Chain A
Amino acid sequence: MNILDHIQESLQYLAPEGMLVLALLAVLFADMFQATRKNAVFATLTIGCLLSVGVYVGYELFDRNSIPNVEFMSNMLVQNPVILFSKLLLIISGIIEIVFIQVYHYSQYLRERGETYMLFLAILLGCFFLVASVNLFMVFLSLELISVPSYMLVASRLDKKSTEAGMKYLLYGAFATGVMLFGISLIYGLTAGLDLFSERWILAFAAIPVFSKWIVLGLVLAALFFKTSLFPFHPWTPDTYEGSSWGVLNILSTLPKIAAFIFLMRISALFEGMQSYSILIAVIVGFSLLVGNFSALVQQNVRRLMAYSSIAQGGFIGMALLGGGDLSQQSLIFYLVTYLFSVPVALFILDYFEHISKGDAVNNFKGFGKKEPIMSIIFVLVMATLIGLPPTAGFFAKIFVFTSVWQYYETIQSPILLGVICVAVAGTVASVFYYMKVPYFLFFKEFENTVILTSKHKSSLVFVSLTMLPVVVLFFCPDRLMDLLKVIVAYI
């Protein structure tokens, strides 16, 4: 078969990515010739593009006849319903983030620059490629496509703090990438191929010695752990969160994480039944839960608090990787759905409070509950989601995750899994303390701030309410989504 024909044939599956690239170029073009920046051209272009990609992906996903499980581009990428659904999630998350930037007045420097949208579109493109990758080379490329714009976004405020955060992120990211590249080279040496999901590679991989096997696997997964900020690749998170703006944080804590977890889920499906892999993940996840939850407890700065909380959340999501069965995959995607809606809301409201109180310490939020009742109540709901309390979908997300891990523990009876469960339970208990710390200050302390609260944005309220809505709705009908996911994950 002619290589050109193959590429031409493969291009039909790359329509979403193509549209993203076109939008990127359009924004770049507009940015070059735009005299004034106070306009909504970039946002309009980006959201228009995201909507059309969303419609296309949705059509592909629900048009049953057009769903092939095909590999294309020389077995670099794959197309199946799980990947389409993941792209759909990424697009929804992307739309929320763009709206986030638009709604919030204080992220003006993000909103009015074309670079923001270009970098964002690049990250989204990388995420699209990452979820669809079946080749380690492709994984490496897409991770870099995510990472490099992320560094720039973190540093995009161009002040000392943001530059420092971007620098640390870059250095640490480069370190992680290096480790991964080292692992990939070892794998290539051991198995003479990078085509992870092919039967040939699996057989070759199975043949290598156990010790080498886990070393290389660990090294390869390092970059993914970095992206999902799992232990021991988490130290960048608090510093980066502290230095970057909330809009950037929102992008960093959702898009790459969703993509990386989807990819990890696919790898878990590949290694399903291989105890060694799940033990590795279990140890990583267990330590992440430990570090995230218990470090968050002693934080007074809300940014660092959210950083550690994102580590802990990563741990909880990672628990769903252990089992590798249908239930695990369903619960992982369910958790991601909850996560992608609730994290922007949490960050948005924190951003809101931080700006009206002129400070990011929890102490500054005293008594806001009476000044901003609706915001505060929604904030309590979000925190309940992240803890896993009713009446939010977070409750079911946690239940599903715990159920899947317990089922797996009943199968293999590993003490490490039991340890993970114990740490997760303790972490959940601990998370009540730090997640409820802010609401406590909002409602149970007297208002002390001398700053006059002037900012009352109806658009902000509408945004958080609408974003929070699916989380609450999912609490009342989690079975609908679970049934849908059951159909979808069967294609893995």
Chain B
Amino acid sequence: MNGLIPHIDVPLISADDISVLALTIFFMPIITFVLLFFTGKHILAPIRSWLATGVMAVMFVLSLYLHIHTEGEHISRWIWFEIGSLKFTASMLVNNYSTTMMVIATFVSLMVHLYSVEYMRERRNHSKYFPYLALFVSSMLGIILSDNLMITFIFWELVGLASFLLIGFWYEKDSSAAAAKKAFLFNKFADLAFVIAIMMLFANYGTAEISVLKEQVSITPLLNAGIFGMPILIGFMIWFATVGKSAQFPLYVWLPDAMAGPTPVSALLHAATMVAAGVFLLLKTSFFLGDWVGNLITIIGCITAVLAALQAMRTFDAKKVLAFSTVSQLGYMMMAVGVGANDAAFFHLATHAFFKACLFLSVGAVIHSMHHMQSHQFDHGQYKDLDTLDMRLMGGFRKKMPLTFVTYLISYAALIGLPFFSGFLSKDAILGALYDWATVSNTWTWFVVAAAFSTVAITAFYMTRQLIFIFFGEFRLLKTDMSYKQYFDHITESKWLINIPLIALATLSIWFFFSINPLHAQTGWWMKQSFVSGEHHVFHFFIPILASVLSIGAAVIAANRYKNVTVFVDRYVGLTKMFAQNFYIEKSMDVLLIRPVMLVAELCGSTDRWINHLIHGKAYFILVLAQCADVFDRWIIDGSVHLVSAIINGIGSFFRSYLKGNVQQYFYFTFIAFALILVWLAWYL
């Protein structure tokens, strides 16, 4: 085996204080998970909620402490297990990059926890909610800290499991269960690529240690010449794994469906944990991405961004609009990764985490009040099926929930990239990087840039649409059912447990947290940290102006268009249908993958049936033969036996008939018989 597997000396490094602290943070949610999962309903719900939230707060503080005190890289590596002479190592890397991600993840998680304390109160299955959240966070921390791809894979799968459990949290709803299944299967399909990548790594390098591989890849040239050389192919495989997790075309269709889970979970999923994991991993292993893979990533990211944004334009589900917007923003990040602007990608990941979480939680607050309305009505003896996510039934929440409106507005501005907000900075970084990339590449790359810019406009359009639908105009539900009037009147601002996360996240969506200069992030402290690669693009003055103009223009168009809409008439049925079907991605998967497989299965099945028919035919033949044999037995063999016995009985009766117990008759019989015998014999002889 040693001959087959290339041996690279992997030094073992013992953990220092920083690493131990990171490990401690990592293990805290695991303890929470075990404790809450197995005690379950024996602990009172408030204690449960506050315990999990408290642990998360401690984790956030420790992460912050860790981030401040981390300088350079802190690698610790130890033997995981041995098979013969083969040593499998596990390792942990703590550097600026990972601690920053940890801070983002723990902060968003903390916010979501706080929000959940109120939002999930008195909801069904409450006892399982916080353990699952803890599992989710700990798995994410595992991905962040691990420096070994095999360990990463384990947590990668655990994230998949936790997301499955949380998406299907209300599993008694069919849509929930189906969405969870869909998310799980799409992710598993992509994860196959991860497994293949790990196998390739072991075959070529004999290790999955990222930092060791990083050196090896930079030292050695391409192992196999050509465009399918080894590091390139490995990069492709890792990227494909993230296509599932980070929801890229064509596997992004699970993400909108995943809205079936609780709203805080959606916030966590979209902001800091699940989808971020893919981008985070890709950035960490970006040294594999060479040659054509980068272009592929960019193109796919561009397609994803445009398609998802288009779908968001025609969706009426409040959460799905945000989900499509997440997919679209992930496309941006991937484009940045593809062109090598790793820092820009990570920057956008960070800013996006805050404002997207804020958006989700704001919309969640609105949905929460809609729920309250429904349950109030239920308390008054009525129950009406109400789609609490449908934006067509909302409106006018600006006056009812002004704080929520403000936080939504801030994060909205950040998302569409208005100046003085975080999204402006990160988007500018990505667009600048794309522009730089296009100037040095072929002409087709300008299409990508154009698509990226148009997506900016589309984003502004659909977000404005949502803003107007939810917060402006009148409460449209009353037009269909006036019975909600009394309940709508009672709607007020949410509880402070919901408001605090909203305010915190909205604050972090404003420019000054990332850069003093509100228009240019390159001079800001974030980009100077050079978390990933440290590459910077040249500042182009026209890019932020163009982007802002596009955003504001699209927003104005959308505002004019939807300002006074009260009746919803679908004038583009075909378009709606196409969007609702996710551009027929699932259909085409069905046609391209599932149908052929099912066809082969059907062929096998029919072959089997033919074989069965043959066997049955043989059995029938034998049965018929047996019937024939039976008839033969009954009539010929049994018949002959019966014939013989009948003859014998006849003979017996014949002889007995002479013997009726009369001695004289005996004499006659004997005399005549004996005489006949003797005479016959005499004649015969």
Chain A residues within 8 Å of B, Cβ to Cβ? 168, 171-172, 175, 179, 210-211, 214-215, 218, 222, 231-233, 235-236, 238-239, 275-276, 279-280, 283-284, 287, 290-291, 294-298, 426, 430, 433
Contacts and interface: CB of A to CB of B under 8 A. Distances in A.
A207 to B, nearest CB: 17
Interface stretch (B185-193, B235-243, B265-273, B645-653): B645-653
B653 to A, nearest CB: 7
Given A294-B651, A298-B652, A172 B666 contact: yes
A287 B655 CA distance: 10
A284 B645 contact: no
A210 B682 contact: yes
A388 to B, nearest CB: 18
B678 A218 contact: yes
A364 to B, nearest CB: 22
B673 A232 contact: yes
B655 to A, nearest CB: 5
B649 A222 contact: no
6 contacts: A210-B682, A214-B681, A235-B670, A236-B666, A290-B655, A294-B652
Contact of B669 (A235, A276, A284): A235
A422 to B, nearest CB: 13
A124 B603 CA distance: 92
B682 A214 contact: yes
Contact of A279 (B652, B653, B670, B685): B685
Given A168-B663, A232-B669, A218 B677 contact: yes
A215 B677 CA distance: 10
Contacts of B663: 168, 171-172
A295 B656 contact: yes
Of B649, B673, B680, B681, most buried by chain A (CB within 10 Å of CB) is B681
Contacts of B655: 290-291, 294-295
Given A172-B663, A236-B666, A297-B652, A231 B673 contact: yes
B667 interface: yes
B661 interface: yes
Nearest to B665: A235
Interface of B: 645, 648-649, 651-653, 655-656, 658-659, 661, 663, 666-667, 669-670, 673-674, 677-678, 680-682, 684-685
B674 A218 contact: yes
Contacts of A214: 678, 681-682, 685
A260 to B, nearest CB: 17
A218 B680 CA distance: 12
A290 B682 contact: no
Contacts of B677: 218, 232, 280, 283-284, 287
Contacts of B684: 279
A222 to B, nearest CB: 7
A283 B681 contact: yes
A280 B648 CA distance: 24
A77 B529 CA distance: 144
Contacts of B667: 172, 175
Contacts of A279: 681, 684-685
Given A172-B666, A214-B681, A280-B681, A430 B659 contact: no
Given A297-B645, A297-B648, A298-B652, 12 more contacts: A172-B663, A172-B666, A172-B667, A210-B685, A215-B678, A232-B670, A236-B666, A283-B677, A296-B652, A298-B649, A298-B656, A433-B645
Nearest to B647: A294
Contact of A239 (B661, B680, B685): B661
Contacts of A290: 651, 655
Contacts of B656: 295, 298
Contacts of B670: 175, 232-233, 235
A209 to B, nearest CB: 10
Contact of A430 (B648, B658, B669, B681): B648
A235 B666 contact: yes
A97 to B, nearest CB: 27
Contacts of A171: 663
Contacts of A283: 677, 680-681
Contacts of A275: 685
Nearest to B684: A279
Contacts of B669: 232, 235
Q: Which 7 A-B pairs have the closest CB atoms?
A: A232-B673, A235-B666, A294-B652, A294-B651, A295-B652, A298-B652, A211-B682
Contacts of A430: 648
A291 B653 CA distance: 10
Contacts of B680: 283
A120 to B, nearest CB: 26
A320 B661 CA distance: 31
A291 B673 CA distance: 13
Given A210-B682, A214-B685, A236-B666, A297 B649 contact: yes
Given A210-B685, A211-B682, A235-B659, A294 B674 contact: no
Contacts of B661: 239
A296 B670 CA distance: 19
A273 to B, nearest CB: 15
Given A232-B669, A433-B645, A298 B653 contact: yes
Contact of B648 (A222, A239, A294): A294
A284 B645 CA distance: 23
Contacts of B678: 214-215, 218
Nearest to B678: A218
Contacts of B645: 297, 433
B270 to A, nearest CB: 82
A280 B681 CA distance: 7
A26 B666 CA distance: 39
Nearest to A296: B652
A238 B682 CA distance: 31
Given A175-B667, A232-B673, A276 B685 contact: yes
B640 to A, nearest CB: 12
Nearest to B659: A235
Of A235, A236, A279, A430, most buried by chain B (CB within 10 Å of CB) is A235
A240 to B, nearest CB: 11
Contacts of A175: 667, 670
Nearest to B656: A295
Nearest to B674: A232
Contacts of B652: 294-298
A296 B667 CA distance: 21
A232 B678 CA distance: 11
Contacts of A210: 682, 685
Given A295-B656, A297-B649, A298-B649, A222 B685 contact: no
Contacts of A287: 673, 677
Nearest to B648: A294
Contacts of A433: 645
Nearest to B664: A171
Nearest to A210: B685
Nearest to B672: A232
A268 B560 CA distance: 140
Contact of B674 (A222, A238, A276): A222
A233 B674 CA distance: 8
A106 B562 CA distance: 122
Nearest to B676: A232
Nearest to A298: B652
A73 B259 CA distance: 132
Contacts of A280: 677, 681
A194 to B, nearest CB: 21
Nearest to A292: B655
B675 to A, nearest CB: 9
B419 to A, nearest CB: 106
A171 B653 CA distance: 25
Contacts of A297: 645, 648-649, 652
A262 B645 CA distance: 35
A341 to B, nearest CB: 28
A235 B674 CA distance: 13
Contacts of A295: 652, 655-656
B678 to A, nearest CB: 5
Contacts of B681: 214, 218, 276, 279-280, 283
